[in-house]
Amino acid sequence: MSDSTTVKEELQVRLGAGEPIALPAGSTVFDAFKELLPKAELKKIVAATLGGLEVDLSSALNISDTVLTIEPITNDSKEGLVVCRHTAAHIMAQAIKALYKDAKLAIGPTIEDGFYYDVDVAEPFTPEDLKRIEKKMAEIVKSNLPLVREELSKDAALALFSAAGETYKEEIINDLDVDTVSLYRQGDFLDLCRGPHLASTGRVRAFKLTSIAGAYWRGDESRKMLQRIYGTAFADKKDLSEHLKRLEEAKKRDHRRLGKELDLFSITDEIGPGLVLWHPNGSIIRNVIEQFWKDEHARHDYSLINTPHIAKVDLWKKSGHWDFYQESLFSPMDVDGQEYIVKPMNCPFHIEIYKSNLRSYRDLPIRYAELGTVYRYERSGVLHGLLRVRGFTQDDAHIYLTSAQLKDEIQEVLKFTLYILRAFGFNEYDIYLSTRPGKYVGSLDNWSEAEAALKNALEGEGLPYEVDPGEGVFYGPKIDIKIKDVLGRSWQCSTIQVDFNLPERFDVNYRNEKGEPEQVIMIHRALMGSLERFFGCLIEHYAGAFPLWLAPVQVLVLNVTERTDDYATGVYKRLRSAGVRAELDNRNETLGYKIREGRNKKVPYMVIVGDKEADAGLVAPRSREEGELDHVTIDKFIENLDRQGRSPQ
């Protein structure tokens, strides 16, 4: 009996939804692009998606009964930059191994603006080491080594890395639930990786190593501290140069440095890491923010409430936070034989206030808002100034409403959120709709209803958004709004979350039209997120030069000589009586010295008072933005301040 099976010698491939073409068996992804794209476009392609999966250009196209679909990944795309930076991380690792023979490699992922590699070395790296590594990387790039993908069985890979003494790679492989693993070879260097990568090291045309830090292996403080080298890479040197300029500007705006220079806040070991001390200047700004927040919430029909800082741990077990976030909660304390913890969230407290009375459908929606300080345990390695702390104040609110009110209420919250952000000068943002995670509570019907309500509200407001699959919280889906500062950096602040879980766990009801109990729907929302984080964003957004309404000192009065002390004091008192946050500097210092100090403090206005001004009953204003202004009376100057706006626009 003869074998009637026909061996296929061709495969069908197409670009996107285009017409398929035939290619011989054994063709690679790049072979396909050579047939499907103009020659001028080939140089920009660094990888591809094949059937929705990212692959190397050298990947073989397997013969299939269906048409294979490929799409190019270009060097100027977001995905292309990831491929470039991933390859640069491998080049850095190769350079490190060449220079430091006993170094052990851990992980080397890409991050938002670059990449890093964690390395175990005997002595911490220095800036001089960075220069050596960068020079060696340039040699590897010049060698233009091909990156070749290899696949080994899990056991073979373990044996390979064990023989090389790469204990961290062994641990990673042991944790993988796979039969085979992929590796990439460039010259005599081999690294564990799933790819994809550039075709050769020579295609990394613009890179820079930027900093060194310590990092515990797998973020575990009980494990060894490794050396982390950060770097970045771009498609061309122009883009790299622009990025490095942004980094320099970011250093100038670092809220930790400015916080010290402007005497805004401090964090000390004596108090404890992640716990913020607000200095007088910072507290003035915080108070201005809080008062604006309170006034606007009253105007938007919120009831302001206050709740304790500790509660029985049973409350958090009932809410589910204990099960889902226990590693982020502080350890319980004994109070009269019962366990209490410092509160990590405000929501259960607000629920108890809601439940203190019977509620009717006529009462809904009920909106509770609180500037509530909460406490969460963050590992010391991730604490970062005001941006990642252990004690912070949330501009928290919880809204109790019916299903029929959900879409309209979310739209109102969206409008309110954007209004608040714009008042602080944030006019650009990215919006994400985060859907059901793998670990969740509640019914699928409730999740679907909540996700649809969030989606409809966004579309009802005409707001562009991206879906972030699986990034919802355990109790419900959410909308996250990431603000963009003047450097184009994104900051996670605002969130709107729908919750069916807590109303069910705490039996939170209202009486419907029939007088029957019906479960409420609950919205969690924060407009600024935490005051600490938001304040850090504001410092960096404005580089410490706050707008007039936020500036801790709005006007600095400077005398020229002791002869004008009395007149300068009168000007100062007139400003204070008008509600202007003013300071008087009548020290026996030169005027130039005092002006320089005022500039360094980034005060919006300085008012100079000399003999001429005192004789004429005038002041000589200097603007932070415009320099010297025309002489005016003090009343006219105050009028000009009011016209400019001593409150948010």
Reply yes or no on whether 394 is catalytic. Answer: yes
Task: Identify the active-site residue in 136, 228, 350, 478.
Answer: 478
* Greatest extent of the chain over all pairs of C-alpha atoms, in Å: 120
Identify the CA nearest to 603 among candidates 588, 581, 619: 581
Catalytic residue status for 224: no
- Nearest CA to 351 out of 390, 318, 391, 329 is that of 318
Q: Residue 154 contacts by C-beta under 8 Å, 6 or more apart in sequence? A: 173, 176, 178, 179, 180, 181
Q: In this structure, what token pair is assigned to residue 190?
A: 């081999």
Distance CA 73, CA 416 (A): 39
Q: Contact 295/360 with Cβ under 8 angstroms? A: no
Residues in the chain: 649
Sign of torsion, CA 586 591 597 600? Answer: positive
Single out the residue of 234, 8, 9, 204 nearest to residue 113, CA to CA: 234
Structure tokens given for 224: 């060894």
What does each C-alpha distance from 351 to 338, 354, 369, 399, 442 come to in angstroms?
Answer: 22, 5, 12, 10, 18
Picking from 208, 419, 201, the residue whose alpha carbon sits closest to that of residue 293 is 419
Catalytic, 291? Answer no
- Give the pairing of strands 478-484 and 490-499: antiparallel
Find the DSSP H helices in 107-254: 127-143, 154-163, 167-175, 237-252
State whether residue 2 is helix, strand or coil: coil
Q: How far apart are the first and last CA of the chain?
A: 88
Query: Which of 367, 398, 436, 541 is the catalytic position?
Result: 398
- Residue 353 is inside which H or E element, if any? helix 347-354
Contact 594, 644 (CB under 8 A): no
Q: Which of 376, 525, 581, 602 is catalytic?
A: 376
**Rounded CA separation 38/60 (Å):** 21
The answer to whether the beta carbons of residues 641 and 605 sit under 8 Å apart is yes
- Under 8 Å between Cβ of 640 and 599: no
- The Cβ of residue 409 has, within 10 Å, a number of other Cβ atoms equal to 23
Q: Give the SS3 label for residue 290.
A: helix
| β-pairing verdict for 110-111 and 104-105 | unpaired
Q: How far apart are CA 119 and CA 105, in angstroms?
A: 5
Question: What tokens appear for 237 in the block?
Answer: 């040197």
> Residue 129, SS3?
helix
Beta-carbon neighbour count of residue 617 at 10 Å? 9
Residue 574 is a catalytic residue? no
In whole angstroms, give the CA distance from residue 525 to residue 413. 8
Asked about 524 being catalytic, the answer comes back as yes
Choose the catalytic residue: 347, 405, 537, 622. Answer: 347
**478 given a catalytic annotation:** yes
Looking at 94, 394, 405, 411, which residue is catalytic?
Answer: 394
d(CA 336, CA 102): 56
Q: How far apart are CA 2 and CA 117, in angstroms?
A: 58
Told to judge if 376 belongs to the known catalytic residues of this protein, a careful annotator would answer yes
How does DSSP assign 313-347, residue by residue?
HHHHHHHTHHHHHGGGSPPPEEETTEEEEE-S-SH
Sheet containing 338-342: give its strands across.
Answer: 310-312, 338-342, 333-335
Tokens of residue 26, six digits:
């054994």
Q: How far apart are CA 435 and CA 155, in angstroms?
A: 38
Active centre residues (catalytic): 347, 376, 394, 396, 398, 478, 524
